[in-house]
A and B are shown apart, each in its own frame.
Chain A
Amino acid sequence: MPDGAVMPLCEPCHPQPNTPPAVVLDNLVLERGGKRLIDGLSMTVPAQGVTAVMGPNGAGKSLALRLIAGLIAPSAGRLECMAGEETRRRIAFVFQKPVLLRRSVRANLDHALRTYGTPRRERAERLAELLALGQLTELAERPARVLSGGEQQRVAMVRALAAAPKVLLLDEPTASLDPQATAAIEALIRRAVDDGVSIVLVTHEAGQAQRLADNVCFLHQGRLREAAPAAAFFHSPSSVEARAYLAGELLI
């Protein structure tokens, strides 16, 4: 690479020594019904820190997370888990609409621990930890699906943490939450970051991205329009689309 050339963020071919990125997306395409919903998406999920994914409704943010999680197969392109199979199994997902089992809060978390293969003798202790982490101890025996939206979101969040994930995909985890519930979720995110989890956070809240994110990827119409360190992105977005989005101007 010649001197002075601008190196794209987290260029896949230049991993930092000792910390290869967790996941690399290389020119991913997703077609449905002749439409390119994801159009040549290349981005890197670093081994640590928070990557915010922003963009207007329908930009393809949720689809991008599903691709990273391996829940849908790309029509073209490559997706690589640098740390191998082990990482792939330890990508946890918190969906835009929380999906909770028809069981108590405790049983939901226990199910997750069993599914993630936590050894039997560690389970009770981990379960108590997770309940405390999500401030759910009081609610442990309640049916999960009668909880409030914010409480459900906290269950979904600590359930994902039950995986002891390497990568945590969060799809608008605080949309429709009150400030206090939002703060609780953000605290959980910070703790996970401190534990070395790499987080991909889809959010529409610029404030939240500024508080939490190291880098921002901006998507529009299935394409990556901008990838920049958070400070730079919010100070002076380089793409027209990102500028319009942040100014609250409608994008099609």
Chain B
Amino acid sequence: MQDFGAAFAEAFALIVGLDAELVAIIGLSLRVTFSAVIIACLLGLPLGALLAVGRFPGRGVVIVVISALMGLPPVVVGLAVYLMLSSAGPLGVLQLLYTPTAMIIAQAVLVTPIVAALTRQVVEDLHGEYDELLRSMGSSRLGTIATLLWDARYSLLTAALAGLGRALAEVGAVMIVGGNIAHVTRVMTTAIALETSKGELALALGLGIILVCLSILINAGLLGLRRTAERLAYA
């Protein structure tokens, strides 16, 4: 207990003193995760919207597969991306393994199904409501998708935040493809795992506290979004 107390004190000292290593790890974490979520949105939003509005053979299968991918364990995603990027893999020539880029790819793979599946759900519901109106206005396919995406903006932001939370918290995928190399691919979760296993609790605790704060921030954002949407009757 004595040790824990000291560790906590040290952890707070690290945070308050903006310890260089701590800040670097947090910075890399945020860079990797935000990049991944942005890529996942760029892919997942149009994919989800297309699945919601389009009618084509195999649509049902794609929807089921994407829903299944939503719950994929991060280590499995890490393994799959590892196989792709390893020197024997199809993308081995790019030599991306153990780089932040590999981590971004892995997290994007992890988050894209979440964004796509939630987008599909939200846009499909909205399409049911808007379909006749937009058709009566002679809206083009592209115009319809743009209208639906914009009008679902609050729900879609919620989906993006959900993806952000999942990416920020996961450890399996970034550990496998990043390798947890100090100053190169060490992010918050992998650092916590390593430091804890070494018995060096101060840095682990400091990062843990930051992670909890970020999680609270994300959930506060979610709640705020929901409140705003309800107030404007945009929910």
Contacts and interface: CB of A to CB of B under 8 A. Distances in A.
A102 B137 contact: no
Nearest to A99: B133
B147 A71 contact: no
Contacts of A102: 151, 232-234
A145 interface: yes
Interface in B136-195: 136-139, 143, 147, 150-151
A91 B135 CA distance: 11
B3 interface: no
Nearest to A114: B143
A146 interface: yes
Contacts of B133: 93, 95, 99
Nearest to B130: A99
A246 interface: no
B232 A91 contact: no
Given A101-B151, A115-B139, A116-B138, A146 B233 contact: yes
Interface string A89-118: 101110100010111000000011001100
A102 B132 CA distance: 16
Q: Chain A interface residue count: which class? A: 20 to 34
Contacts of A40: none
B232 A111 contact: no
Contact of A99 (B129, B150, B232, B233): B129
Contact of A103 (B136, B138, B151): B151
A69 interface: yes
A116 B151 CA distance: 18
B151 A92 contact: no
A99 B139 CA distance: 15
B130 A93 contact: no
Given A95-B133, A99-B129, A99-B130, A115 B138 contact: yes
Interface string A62-81: 00001001010000000000
Counting chain A CB atoms within 10 Å of each CB, which of B133, B151, B232, B234 scores highest?
B133
Among B130, B134, B135, B233, find the residue whose CB has the most chain A CB atoms closer than 10 A. Answer: B233
Given A143-B232, A146-B232, A91 B137 contact: no
Given A101-B130, A111-B147, A115-B143, A93 B232 contact: no
Contacts of A93: 132-133, 136
B91 to A, nearest CB: 41
B132 A143 contact: no
Nearest to A94: B136
A101 B136 contact: no
B10 to A, nearest CB: 49
B182 to A, nearest CB: 48
A145 B151 contact: no
Contacts of B233: 102, 143, 145-146
A91 B136 CA distance: 8
A43 interface: no
Interface string A177-219: 0000000000000000000000000000000000000000000
B154 to A, nearest CB: 8
A145 B129 CA distance: 13
Nearest to B143: A115
Contacts of A111: 147
27 contacts: A71-B135, A71-B136, A89-B138, A93-B132, A95-B132, A95-B133, A99-B129, A99-B130, A99-B133, A101-B130, A101-B147, A101-B151, A102-B151, A102-B232, A102-B234, A103-B151, A111-B147, A112-B137, A115-B137, A115-B138, A115-B143, A116-B137, A143-B232, A145-B232, A145-B234, A146-B233, A163-B137
Given A71-B135, A89-B138, A93-B136, 16 more contacts: A66-B132, A71-B132, A71-B136, A92-B136, A99-B129, A99-B130, A99-B132, A102-B151, A111-B147, A115-B137, A116-B137, A116-B138, A143-B233, A143-B234, A145-B234, A146-B233
